[in-house]
Amino acid sequence: MRYLLLSRSLSSASSSPASLLPRPAAASSFSSMADGGAGPRARARLRGVVFDMDGTLTVPAIDFAAMYRAVLGDDEYRRIRAENPAGIDILHHIEGWSPERQRTAYEVIADHERQGLDRLQIMPGAAELCSFLDSKKLRRGLITRNVKSAVDLFHQRFGVIFSPALSREFRPYKPDPAPLLHICSSWEVQPSEVMMVGDSLKDDVTCGKRAGAFTCLLDQTGRYDAPEFDSVDLKPDFKVSCLTEVFPLLEANFDLAP
């Protein structure tokens, strides 16, 4: 499995240090678990990048733990959190509830999302990364479990457009691969020519892996370095701590072709 960690000691976009997980190596070259020491692997063609929105293209502004507690209650939240260390799929969880209980839950979720919109900020490095993709004539898309109005506000406020941009009105939503496969189809490219970038192992990496795309996990705090994530079934191909680390990652590992 291709599972690379881009070193957090990256000092400039022109250097491309990385190390092989789980044990850091010298920050001077990329390596792959699939190489087996037989020499450099072939550079895959990359024709587009699909991004998550909340916590990836935008600075985290939604208190998801508070949202989940408000929907589930403290005891149920703690129980489900303990059973799902990678994260709670609240939308999937409430699908089995009664219509009235679902309606109440969606109102709570919508209220937390509206509060997040008031604090909406673009993630550092996001605009520059989009300019880099434009310079390479690579497509860029967006998949979020947030609502369409949040996507529209993001486009309007920051002037960076993603197409297609799929919100949770598109069913089924992440971690199902359907939205990513839909984007690949609209672009007329293969999933193996696309990378999914997001901050959720449960939603973004799983969606990308199930679709057959490359995956890059944005882990700003090192949360996913914890031992509890060592045994997860689906691991990302790459892991970065900020979006500016994606530049050298793409150039070092892919044939960037429109």
Active-site annotation, residues: 52, 54
Of 19, 8, 21, 43, the residue nearest 236 (C-alpha): 21
Q: Are 254 and 48 in contact (CB under 8 A)?
A: no
Dist CA 67 CA 92 (whole Å): 15
